[in-house]
Structure 1
Amino acid sequence: MGFVSGFFSGFALTTSILYITITVHRATRLEQRRQIREQVDQINWLAASAGAYDRRFFPEHQAQRPEEQHGRREDQITMKEVLKHKWNQEIEKLAGKAHETRWEDVRETASEGWKAILRLVKKD
């Protein structure tokens, strides 16, 4: 394995591990945030002064228990959704770059680079 291929495969492995680690850490933080909010809502529901003795006087929008309120879809972010969102962002970036790139310039740059590499190899 040559230096260039070894370097790039090591770079790809390192960045992949870092990306996965950061994504898992973010998903864990989001889950912890959801759980803390749920616990705070339960404590607030128990300690609410309005309707503390008679739940008939409790406000309508807070009549549900906190665990029923947190069943909403937006509060339950899963690892799959985070990874899907990141993937879609990367694809959008790549598609934008491909759309804005002048491929003639890329071809010319690649051919000039290849010629420079051949000149260096032939000197040795």
Structure 2
Amino acid sequence: MGFMAGFFGGFTLTASVLYLSVQVHRSTRIAQRDAIREQVEILNDISSPLGAYYRRFAQEDNLQESRIAPPPKKPSAEELLKHQWNKEVEALAKKTVTLRWQDVTNTATEVARVISDLVKRQ
């Protein structure tokens, strides 16, 4: 019992550390991606003819559209879990709606027959 508890405890600890390090790495990469995209937008805005030379001739609407859009709102962990939960519930609801009770009855009868055969052999 001590070996198995130690083995699984070590496995759990190692898996947790690996999972957390992968999540930190992923969030860092996403932050870097967003920063690079924002910098590219700024550089494109500066280097475009509208931004570099013809700013005074540009209409206000076009000038406002060429500004950098605010970064999209990142969903929180709670929203991601809600979305995953809703997908699971939707899948179960679809499965329940398409379920044929005749198939359930046949499966239950077959399972009961197999169990009774196993009990009779022993």
What's the offset of the Cα at 1:123? Answer: 1.1
How has the CA–CA distance of structure 1 residues 109 and 93 changed in structure 2, closer, same or farther, with 3 Å as cutoff?
same
Counterpart among 45, 50, 67 of residue 65 in structure 1: 67
Aligned residue pairs: how many? 98
Tell me what 1:7 maps to.
Answer: none
Tell me what 1:76 maps to.
Answer: 73
Provide, for residues 79-120 of structure 1, a one-character-per-residue CA deviation record: whole Å limited to 9, x for no partner: 434433333222222111100101232133123213302321
How has the CA–CA distance of structure 1 residues 33 and 100 changed in structure 2, closer, same or farther, with 3 Å as cutoff?
farther
Structure with larger RCO (C-alpha < 8 A, sep 6+): 1
Tell me, in whole angstroms, the C-alpha distance in 2 between the residues paired with 1:53 and 1:78.
39
Aligned 1:82-97 pairs, distance under 5 A: 82-97=80-95
How has the CA–CA distance of structure 1 residues 65 and 54 changed in structure 2, closer, same or farther, with 3 Å as cutoff?
same
What's the offset of the Cα at 1:52? Answer: 1.7
1:121 matched to 2:119: yes
Question: What is the TM-score normalised by the length of structure 1?
Answer: 0.54
What's the offset of the Cα at 1:31? Answer: 6.0
The RMSD of aligned alpha carbons is 3.6
Provide, for residues 35-58 of structure 1, a one-character-per-residue CA deviation record: whole Å limited to 9, x for no partner: 443232122122222142564334
Question: What is the TM-score normalised by the length of structure 2?
Answer: 0.55
Tell me, in whole angstroms, the C-alpha distance in 1 between the residues paired with 2:81 and 2:42.
30
Tell me what 2:44 maps to.
Answer: 44
Larger Cα Rg: Structure 1 or Structure 2? 2
Tell me what 2:56 maps to.
Answer: 56
Provide, for residues 6-61 of structure 1, a one-character-per-residue CA deviation record: whole Å limited to 9, x for no partner: xxxxxxxxxxx9xx99xx69x85766654443232122122222142564334523
Tell me, in whole angstroms, the C-alpha distance in 2 between the residues paired with 1:46 and 1:89.
44
Letter aligned with residue 73 of structure 2: Q
What 5-or-longer segments of structure 2 have no aligned partner?
1-15
